[in-house]
Chains A and B, each alone.
Chain A
């Protein structure tokens, strides 16, 4: 970040290069694993996202916050083409992952989703055993190593192993809500993704289960890049390294207002709209 004479910060608004300025103040910048360039998205005639440019650095937790209907979940689902399944949907702009636009014609969305996994709001384990839930993805992908080891490793990473290791044949649906969500995280981890997208992963969980998932997110950051959409500002403040604030613009499209280090965004936001939202003055 450039020094400026007033000592105030240059606002980080809607421009991906400046989005990462703040990080450079704290040691070397991490490489960006996902780069969104002027991403626009339509549901039929309704534009849901207006030109989002946002860089997501590797091995960090990026939280996306904003009032209902601001496009944060839509944006998240654009990051691994989950919106492809909606017939009227249309996308413009680019999402660069590993040097390649994931919307390019030659990209196989299934292969791409193996590297950019997703955890949903409601835990959705398959109606199968705990073991099979975790082994399913690797099996489909033709995993050739020891499946037992992979299942154990994934369940350990998801902080679920100790609770289920003696009963791996039990149905995933028989677990508690918090355990089911951790099983879904283990399932996502089993295919060894680079990025995990989480769409309000704790909104259906009680406070204790929420704490466990939050602890887990902090641990997973060491090995994965995580993007989490959350309604809960305190959760964003607790778990993320960086926070992006989305809002509806004048054309009723979701837009990025500000992205900054989480500590800064929650103590000294650059934009008055962020300030008003996080202090509860609106929204």
Chain B
């Protein structure tokens, strides 16, 4: 096949995306584990490791620019490269959210837990699966698998709402718990955002496969049609304005 070197460089780019994906996956898993076990050392390790994710995002961008400048990619190759830029950005932000969770663990320090963590680790598990599935769908250019990632975002949204209500109830009942409950709302928010970023990657699978970029409304229409009802709304509407 002609253009061996070019095709090789496209394949290397895919490998690099998967590698960064596994780093982010590990960061989320360790951040939530550190929170659950109040392990400051692990939390600090997650924070330190985020520099490596940031560096790799920049490296990925440079790789894409290099291929574009030298090889004049066209058609699906061009879409793959543009997608790589977006996906690298999404993953870098996911890494930041994991880092944010680790920072919250450090902020919480020795404070007693207000409740055992059940839903938050569950949210983390789903968000991680969504991220891995979105990357698998991307590599396979599998629109159905990408659509399944979108479906799962509902689960995370529902868990987030549940956690939010529960923690607000704790705060109303006992104002001494407000600070600790707020920390956990931030954590849940970060996990909800990670899941949203995974859906962004899923969205890009549609683009890389078809050249179409579905609007948020089109996705929602599709999902509402599939669920057969008119209810629903973006999690963006519900999230409290916090930043970690």
Contacts and interface: CB of A to CB of B under 8 A. Distances in A.
A45 interface: no
A142 interface: no
A282 B2 contact: yes
A208 B125 CA distance: 57
A14 interface: no
Contacts of A266: 74-75, 78
Contacts, number: 44
A111 B210 CA distance: 46
Nearest to B212: A7
A268 B211 contact: yes
Contacts of A279: 73-77
Interface string B203-218: 0001000111010001
B216 to A, nearest CB: 15
A280 B6 contact: yes
Nearest to B206: A7
A269 B77 CA distance: 12
The 4 closest A-B pairs by CB, nearest first: A268-B211, A278-B74, A280-B3, A275-B75
Interface string A247-269: 00000000000000000101111
A269 B210 CA distance: 10
B72 A281 contact: no
Nearest to B214: A7
A214 to B, nearest CB: 15
22 contacts: A7-B206, A7-B210, A8-B212, A9-B211, A233-B72, A233-B74, A234-B72, A264-B211, A266-B74, A267-B74, A267-B75, A267-B78, A268-B75, A268-B211, A274-B75, A278-B74, A279-B73, A279-B74, A279-B77, A280-B2, A280-B74, A281-B2
Contacts of B210: 7-8, 268
B69 interface: no
A264 B211 CA distance: 9
Given A7-B218, A279-B75, A282-B2, 5 more contacts: A233-B72, A266-B74, A274-B75, A281-B1, A281-B3
A268 B79 contact: yes
Contacts of B212: 7-8
Interface in A117-176: none
Contacts of A267: 74-75, 78-79, 211
Nearest to B78: A267
Nearest to B143: A6
Given A280-B2, A280-B3, A269 B72 contact: no
A7 B210 CA distance: 8
Interface of A: 7-9, 233-234, 237, 264, 266-269, 274-275, 278-282
A275 B6 contact: no
A108 to B, nearest CB: 42
Nearest to B7: A281
Interface string B16-45: 000000000000000000000000000000
Contacts of B206: 7
B6 A278 contact: no
A187 B34 CA distance: 78
Nearest to A278: B74
B202 to A, nearest CB: 15
B2 A275 contact: no
Nearest to A264: B211
A8 B79 CA distance: 15
A269 B214 contact: no
B111 to A, nearest CB: 50
Nearest to A276: B75
A116 to B, nearest CB: 30
> Residue among B72, B75, B77, B211 with the most chain A CB within 10 A?
B75
A184 B212 CA distance: 42
A225 B74 CA distance: 26
A197 B2 CA distance: 32
A164 B76 CA distance: 45
B141 to A, nearest CB: 13
A269 B2 contact: no
A9 to B, nearest CB: 8
A258 to B, nearest CB: 11
B55 to A, nearest CB: 30
Nearest to A275: B75
B211 to A, nearest CB: 3
Given A7-B210, A7-B214, A268-B211, A275 B3 contact: no
B243 to A, nearest CB: 35
A269 B75 contact: yes
